[in-house]
Amino acid sequence: MSKPLMPKATAVWLVDNTTLSFKQIADFCGLHELEVQGIADGDVAGGVKGFDPVTNNQLDPIEIERGEKDPVYKLKLKYNPAAEGEEKRRGPRYTPLSKRQDRPASILWLVKFHPELADAQIRRLVGTTNSTIQAIRERTHWNIANLQPIDPVALGLCKQSELDKEVQKAAAKRAAEGEIMSDDERRKLVSTEQSLEMDAEPKMPANIAGLENFTIADMSPAEAEDEAEEKSKAADYSDADSFFNLPDDDDEDEDEHDEGSRDPRDR
* Single-letter code of the amino acid located at 211: L
Higher pLDDT, 2 or 5: 5
* Residues whose CB falls within 8 Å of the CB of residue 104, separated by 6 or more in sequence, listed in order: 132, 136, 141, 143, 147
In this prediction, residue 255 carries a pLDDT of 52
Over residues 13-26, mean pLDDT: 91
Mean pLDDT of the chain: 76
14 band by pLDDT with thresholds 50, 70 and 90:
very high
* Residues whose CB falls within 8 Å of the CB of residue 188, separated by 6 or more in sequence, listed in order: 113, 114, 167
Residues listed for the chain: 267
For the chain, give every domain's residue range.
7-83, 97-195
* Per-residue pLDDT tens over the stretch 23-63: 999 999 888 889 899 888 888 877 888 888 888 888 888 99
* Angle at the Cα of 242 from the Cα atoms of 241 and 247, rounded to 5 degrees: 110
In this prediction, residue 13 carries a pLDDT of 92
Higher pLDDT, 255 or 157: 157
Over residues 104-112, mean pLDDT: 93
Using the predicted structure, report yes or no on whether residue 101 has a pLDDT greater than 80.
yes
* Per-residue pLDDT tens over the stretch 133-151: 999 999 999 999 999 999 9
* Residues whose CB falls within 8 Å of the CB of residue 190, separated by 6 or more in sequence, listed in order: 198
In this prediction, residue 110 carries a pLDDT of 93
Judged on CB neighbours under 10 Å (0-12, 13-18, 19+), 157 is buried
Specify the pTM.
Answer: 0.41
Higher pLDDT, 35 or 98: 35
In this prediction, residue 171 carries a pLDDT of 86
CB 155 within 8 Å of CB 109: no
* Per-residue pLDDT tens over the stretch 185-238: 655 555 555 555 555 555 555 555 555 555 545 556 666 677 767 666 555 555
* Per-residue pLDDT tens over the stretch 67-77: 889 888 988 88
